[in-house]
Amino acid sequence: VRTLDNKMVVVPNSRVKVTTNLSEPGIIRVDVAVKIGHDTDLRAAKETLLQLVGAFPRILRDPAPAVLLSDVDVLGKELTMRVWVRGDDYIPVPFALREEAALA
């Protein structure tokens, strides 16, 4: 079974044990959340993050990256950068994106 973020989940018939196979080659969706203040312009922040993911070399262009408003709370607004990467980039890309977003 493939999840929406393209991870393979295997449920064998002999024993009920769910295994998520992250070693399978292919592409995987990565969601990276960042918080912005309530006083920060939402459209400008989304555009800045879209430019950041658009210039990031290890992010795939198809499916297209997206920046989504994922939460609003007392601390601010949470934006999620939703990107697709090759399996080898599943671990390093979120860390690099968070750092670049903090510097933007």
Q: Per residue in 8-30, pLDDT tens? A: 777 776 666 666 666 666 899 99
**From the CB of residue 21, how many other CB atoms can be counted at a distance below 10 Å?**
9
Average pLDDT over residues 76-103: 95
Give the residue with greater pLDDT, 12 vs 7.
7
Domains in the chain (CATH in brackets) are: 26-103 (3.30.70.100)
Q: What is the DSSP letter of 64?
A: P
Q: How far is CA 91 from CA 22, 25, 28, 48, 64, in A?
A: 11, 14, 11, 23, 19
Alpha helices in the chain (DSSP H): 42-55, 92-103
pTM metric for this prediction: 0.77
Q: Per residue in 53-88, pLDDT tens? A: 999 999 999 999 999 999 999 999 999 999 999 988
Q: Per residue in 35-57, pLDDT tens? A: 999 999 999 999 999 999 999 99
